[in-house]
A and B are shown apart, each in its own frame.
Chain A
Amino acid sequence: MSEDADSVLVVGGGIAGIQAALDLAKAGVKVVLVEKSPTIGGKMAVLDKNFPTLDCSICIEAPKMGEVMRSPNIEVISLAELLEVNGSAGDFTVKILQKPRFVTSECTRCGDCVPVCPVVLHNEFDFGMGARKAIYTPIPQSEPGAYVIDIEHCLNKPPNYLPCNRCMEVCGPKCIDFNMKPKVIEKKVKAIIVATGFEIFDPSVITEYSYGRHPDILTSIEFERLINSSGPGGGHITKPSDGMEPESVLFVLCVGSRDRRYCAYCSRICCMLTIKEALQTVEHGIKHVSVLYMDIRAYGKGFDSFYQRAKSEGVEFIRGKPGRIIPGKDGLRVIYEDTERGELVQRKYDMVVLATAALPSRDNKKLAEILGIELDEYGFFKTIPGYPVSTGKPGVYVCGCTSGPKDIPDSVQEGGAAAAEAMTFVKKRRWPKEEIPEQKEVSVEPRVLVNICHCGSNIAGVADIKELVEFARNIPGVVYADNTMYSCAGYGLKKIAQQMKEHNANRLVIAACSPKTHLVTFQKSAMMAGINPYMVEMANIRNHCTWVHRDYPKEATEKCKDMILMAVEKAKRLKPLMPVTYPVTKRVLVVGGGIAGMSAATNLARQGIETYLIERENELGGMLRFVSEIAPEGVDSKKILEMKRTELEQSGAHIMTGVDVQMVTGFVGNFNVVLSNGKTLDVGAIVMCTGAVPYQPKEFGYGSNGKVVTSLELESMMNNNLDANNITFVSCIGSRTPDKGCSRYCCQSMLKQAIRLAEMGKNVTVVYKDIRAFNKNGEELYEKASKLGVQFFQYPQDALPESVIRFDNGLVVVKDELQGGEVAIPADLLVLNVGLSPNTTIKNIIEQLKLPRDMEGFLLESHPKLGPVDTSVEGVYIAGTAQGPKGVEESVAQALAAASKASALVSAGSITLEPFTARIEQEKCIYCLRCAEVCPFHAIRGELRKSTELVQAMCHGCGTCVAECMRDAMNQYGFEDEQILAQVDAATEVEPEKKAIVFACNWCSYAGADQAGIEKLQYPPNVRIIRTMCSGRVSQKFVMRAFERGIAAVIVTGCWPQDCHYNYANLNTEKRMERWKKMLQARGIDPNRLQLHWNSAAEGKRFANKMKEVAEFIKSLPIDEIRSTPQKLKGVKAAA
């Protein structure tokens, strides 16, 4: 009898809270996730795309939300708030109030209740840009998925003398329950994580901007909803006033931020969000797009080049702040001063977007009282310098925007960091698993049970269910077929299991909705019947058929038949699979003993994990040893280092200084490390905290001119005796060049130094590009420096410092952009504010581990938004300046986040992976290593013409290697060649000359097709979709087989290249497509019959439009072209 694991409470289900919950759950900790609203997902769920990757926001968040819901270690309590906390770290008792949802979890999301609800309201999840009913789902991807009733606006709100009950009457599975009552839930938890996020400033108080007085003046978040494909404009940029496309759009930065009247702090996220929105606007074909800014704070990895891209694509950036926005009949008149030209400008725009400040959540005050923790002067939660997620109260941690505005990767990092800190209070960890039945007997003969779901009228209202059941029963191999009103409801699942037993079925086909949302549910049915869950296949006849072909019931029924046949044919060829489990060594190696490495190692050791920290130098502390104060907090770095060192020593971590890594071999969970002192270590995970090095300047005669020093040298000069009186800083030395980004830490440390000098009575001048004081207290530091008389001179963002700044005869000469003329500043000392460069001395270990680097040479994270500490090498995590320049707080947060990942990996003692991996059939392999070349995860190794080996633990299951193999020597579990070919054959059984086959990847384009269904976007019914995990799995043989079978067109679809879930595996798809098109052309076949189409999960409209286009294309094809194809293809490999 296993005891329950210890619990941790996470308050807030935005991306930071989600990350904390997932990290904890993976590390075997039970999580109680309390969310105020009806769905988790937070603000990220309503953004359109993310910067700088232009990832579709919900597409990359939704899988995480789904993971939260599926995790047996996480209990999500939505519509809830924290009432009371008692006890102390390691022993808290918390009370949670959960409000009723009035819809049970039996809800199938059919949506039938919505049209009958008579109450129309603004949808707050759409930021007022769309409407909802009193019964609704906040976003299409809501988790928990059940709909919710807004009782305040519902006509059944007690006392309901005349109940409306319309939704109850129409609800098929009868899951609406007005008798639900609020309840108080009590939980025992070891630690508490607060991730309640932020709110958005209401700009209507800035009267001069006329927000609220004209519909075409929007906030950034409203604009996000506007351009979102599920938003009111259907993905088009249209003016809310008249639905027309604007000709000109102005974006205004710092609306409410950096403004003493409202929020004195910098809101940090708005510069990049705005640049992204401006770029999207240009890409939508809008001619005049301007941004009014004060400083462009593009501080993160890849941000500066994204800014450059926006500029080069035509976004106009103007330094200024509008004085007035005046709505008129013919547009919005904006008055601003172009401060670099010193000109007052009056200009008309069709639309204005205000980048509004991020505010502390209203609930913070109450929450702080309940938790007994402090708020800062603005109402964000206070944290301890050097401990970015610690509140000062043991066992209570904060993360994400709760403690100040932050972008997604920083929030994700802090979510992980808070999880890591919470784990130090956890004693009992458990990994509950569902028992997966070993297939009792895989009979030679496949026996398929088919169940067809009505989904109320969603399917049955269009397709002829009786005809479908009849059809299914006649497919060879089908032992029984039946239909159910709601197959996924509890009674439906039981019925299916019962029938499987009755008919001795060993395979199950469900013709209903999307496997993306419901496969897991139906796998349970199979398991109830003692059948392996991987023997279940779904035909998505709702999202991909009845929802999108409403007006063609006959054709839709025919399409359903094809889809059922395809599913049955695949199901017949399914093989039982088991998730794969590998042992993991319960030991972690942290490489590098700077502030990041020390923090990571301390945390891991405190969690009770055997941890080794190695530092090449003889002393711990890294770069921070050379800095006296940490900016912007202004705390003594010596003290922090001393504290961290003591904590590390007390944590029980093994510390080795003067030691380097000589060699690393192995893979996730099982690395072998040889150290320079001759010792060897077996570790399950490696955390790379190998730091960066200061840029070595050549500028301004550094090295030969004694009056030119670096900012690091100034540190020690300030501590000793500094005889200079007039000191000038030049910023961005070794940063922000055409091939280097912002070094992120330097502006704030420069301000700190400038303040210290000014306080010493020195005359201080700063020559800068932008003041990027984005951190908490950063803007305040800037203001303080100004108040102390530090003078600021701007030089052009695109210029190299030496091309515009001269230093001779004790004078710095530069053009003052703000006043027009050249100025000469007396200077006895020129301080070069140097950036950070990648550490090049770790080449060996990087090569041995096959760790990829970014364009600048820093270690590359697996995903810039959601995987900031992971790498493409499983089991290796990165933190601190090794990953990219950053300050102390961010380095520590990242280190803790990396520790959290490492802990989750090693503490379980084993890892379990989905079984959809590739495999090599050695008897056919000729060891050409083509597969190894395309593997995005270096999971295949070998020697040319001698051997190949696939490390299953490293395989992520994209299948791109399988498609690359010319010898049929590879295959993929769950997506076998034989299975997919059977689907192709089934799809081409009837009238193939009228059809197209669409290959769709699990993550984006398949989800995009689902989305088209959710939005009920109609398109012609002549496409047949085949799902693979990645478009990289699509092999030549699938395509050629389809053509040979007489198909009119084949469309290969996938994620946009930057959204690929397998590390750019889909770039292989792109290359192959070119090759196949050439093959077709060489044989006299119209190559346009094979098309590549990128489609994100949110782009339902884009998918539907493509399908329409394909239908038109097919109509235009001469029938001879199609009929002659099989003949022409004779002899093509794999077509036979």
Chain B
Amino acid sequence: MSKPILVSQDTSTMPELASIRQMVTPCYQCGFCTATCPYPLLGHRLNIRKFVRALQLSMLDALEQAWLCSTCKLCESKCPRGVPITDAFVKTRRLLALSKKTPEKLEQVLWNVYENGNSWGVKSTEKLSWAKGLEVKDASKGVKYLLYVGCAVPYDPRLYKVARSLVNVLGAAGLDFGVLGKEEKCCGDPVYHAGELEFFEEIVNENAEKFRRTGAEFVVTISPHCYNTFKNLYPSYGADLNVLHYTQLLEQLLDGGKIHPSRKLDGRVTYHDPCYLARYDNVVEPPRKVLESIPGIEFVEMRDSAQDTLCCGGGGGRMWLESEGGRPSDMRVSQASEVEAGLMVTSCPYCIQNFEDSVRRLRLGKPLQVFDLAELVDRALG
């Protein structure tokens, strides 16, 4: 029989652990989190309640689960005792990082950011490859809106189209905007979620300075993850930015009569809310408003929409980590297929990558296309 584990409340030697434990003490171990999380359902070893219990009892050995969470915040948003579960996961990662327990793949991402300023390792010279043949203003010459493209777009040719569509739409609206191009540097999202806070702070300072120099009034992001990082993480490091996710900008343009989606499209369309938009920042109405302005489409909600949305599996560094169980994006794509949508629209590069992957592998009864909202609007502008 194994020896009983000594449970001591004395954590004076580990102040970091003590502060995380403090976050989870209200937990009464109902297990709702475990049951609501898609990962355990897909066969992953993640058991959120047990993770929290391990924190409550300062059981260091059981904390490595921290890397399995995609930080989608579904459990946290529904926790009956209001425990900041996601934050506890992220803070635990820092604890693990300090003892050099970061997974190798994530370490590589950190080096990518360190060396190239792009989490996917895209070199500076390639950072504008998506914009070939397009005229996009160089933001360093001064713009009102800084379009922050993010790391994924220059990496994945599929996403070129997203950025190009958005540029078209913004252009059609006559907006004064530009991009940083090869000067653009990762927002720091994967760095933060890997627990490398010192490095993250450095990135915040560098980016804030770059943004300031453009004189832009607004930073517009394509990725909800960049949006969250700028909006919710930067301020505590002294950088207050006016950030918009592009769906919010599109809503403004629509309301201001700057864009007129008038070309009729058809098909049954559903919208997937990216977790970082819907749950982190409650942005659920703007994309729907924009979608509904497009003539001809038949809009249908999936189960688990808006704040109840399910994760595609891409957040919190999970984009780079191997999975031992099934893919959350498969679940989500099946839900879209359940409501017989022909078009699954979303507004996050990770979601697009994951869903397209799932659609390719799943062989659904009815063909399902994955689109970014920007792409659809671009088409509808005709």
The chain A residues found within 8 Å of chain B, CB to CB, are 207-208, 254, 258-261, 294, 319-324, 326, 335-339, 342, 344, 346, 726, 763, 765, 771, 782-783, 786-789, 791-792, 811, 813, 816, 818-819, 821-826
Contacts and interface: CB of A to CB of B under 8 A. Distances in A.
Q: List the 6 closest A-B pairs by CB distance, nearest first.
A: A323-B35, A323-B36, A337-B31, A259-B80, A822-B4, A763-B9
Contacts of B81: 260, 783, 786
A338 B22 CA distance: 25
Given A260-B80, A322-B35, A818-B29, A339 B49 contact: yes
A1061 B56 CA distance: 53
B30 interface: yes
B365 to A, nearest CB: 16
Contact of B35 (A336, A765, A811): A336
Contacts of B30: 254, 294, 320-321, 339
Contact of A321 (B8, B31, B50): B31
A338 to B, nearest CB: 8
B9 A789 contact: yes
Nearest to A806: B4
B10 A323 contact: no
B53 interface: yes
Nearest to B43: A344
A320 B31 contact: yes
Contacts of B78: 208, 261
Contacts of A260: 79-82
Contacts of A765: 7, 9
A987 to B, nearest CB: 61
Nearest to A294: B30
Contacts of A322: 32, 35
A460 B323 CA distance: 79
A791 B54 CA distance: 12
Given A344-B40, A782-B28, A818-B53, A824 B35 contact: no
Given A816-B57, A818-B29, A819-B50, A320 B35 contact: yes
A824 B7 contact: yes
A208 B308 contact: yes
B32 to A, nearest CB: 4
Interface string B32-75: 11111100110000010110011011010010000000000000
Interface string B17-30: 00001100111111
Nearest to B5: A823
A291 to B, nearest CB: 14
A323 B29 contact: no
A825 B5 CA distance: 9
B6 A824 contact: yes
A323 B37 contact: yes
A760 B37 CA distance: 38
21 contacts: A260-B81, A261-B78, A319-B31, A320-B31, A321-B31, A321-B35, A322-B32, A322-B35, A335-B35, A335-B36, A337-B31, A339-B29, A344-B47, A346-B41, A783-B81, A788-B25, A813-B4, A818-B53, A823-B5, A824-B5, A824-B6
Contacts, number: 125
Contacts of B32: 321-323, 337
Nearest to B50: A342
A260 B79 CA distance: 8
A782 B21 CA distance: 17
A209 to B, nearest CB: 11
B28 A786 contact: yes
Nearest to B81: A260
Nearest to B10: A763
> Which of B3, B79, B303 gathers most chain A CB within 10 Å?
B303
Interface residues of B, number: 42
B26 A783 contact: yes
B4 A294 contact: no
Contacts of B13: none
B26 A786 contact: yes
Nearest to B24: A786
B125 interface: no
B236 interface: no
B99 interface: no
A566 B303 CA distance: 66
Contacts of A783: 26, 28, 81
Given A336-B35, A824-B5, 10 more contacts: A260-B80, A320-B35, A339-B29, A342-B50, A344-B34, A771-B28, A786-B26, A786-B81, A787-B26, A789-B9
Contacts of A763: 8-10
Contacts of B79: 260
B25 A789 contact: yes
B2 A821 contact: yes
Nearest to B11: A789
- Which of B27, B37, B47, B80 has the most A CB atoms < 10 Å from its CB? B80
A317 to B, nearest CB: 14
A189 to B, nearest CB: 43
Nearest to A819: B53
Nearest to A763: B9
Nearest to A793: B7
Contacts of B53: 816, 818-819
Given A821-B4, A824-B4, A323 B25 contact: no
A337 B28 contact: no
Contacts of A323: 32-37
A253 to B, nearest CB: 10
Given A208-B308, A339-B30, A789-B9, A823 B80 contact: no
- Tell which of B31, B40, B53, B303 has the most Cβ of chain A within 10 Å: B31
Contacts of A324: 35-36
B27 A786 contact: yes
Nearest to A758: B9
Given A321-B32, A824-B4, A207 B308 contact: yes
A771 B29 CA distance: 12
B234 to A, nearest CB: 28
A791 B47 contact: no
Nearest to B1: A822
